[in-house]
Amino acid sequence: MTDLNNKKILIIDDEPNITEMLKDNLEFKGYEVCVANGGREGLEKAIEFKPDIITLDLKMPDMNGFKVLQALKNDTRTKDITVFIISVMDEEDSTKKGFLLGARIYMVKPFSMTALEDLIEDIFQDNTIYQTIFH
């Protein structure tokens, strides 16, 4: 089991029920969690909070997740953060675009919280998971 102390996760999603569920479950597992309720806020918090992992929704009213992901990967301060896309968009074009822009994991809503927690733990343990889609 990995030491979770000081492991930080930023949740970027505009759906309060999703952010609350993620935050509660991940904090219970021992992670430090920060929430951003939109893309622009997410970019700011990524720089301030310096997370190890970001969970990112694609459909947000102020700035879509693809633009957020592209901005994260183009900024030297945030380019190395592992990004998990968690979205209702399950079209092949969306998953391809997400991976091309630098996402590491693509999960389709509704998703299994247990599967997400396992993926996060795997990333922190040995960093061997690359471009995986979970339905």
Q: What are the residue ranges spanned by the domains of the chain?
A: 8-134
What pLDDT does residue 135 have?
56
What is the rounded CA–CA span in Å between residue 74 and residue 71? 5
What pLDDT does residue 127 have?
60
- In this structure, what is the dihedral angle of CA atoms 117, 135, 70, 15, given to the nearest 10 degrees? -70
Tell me which fold the domain 8-134 belongs to.
Rossmann fold (3.40.50)
What pLDDT does residue 1 have?
45
- The list of the chain residues with pLDDT below 70 reads 1-5, 127-135
What pLDDT does residue 124 have?
87
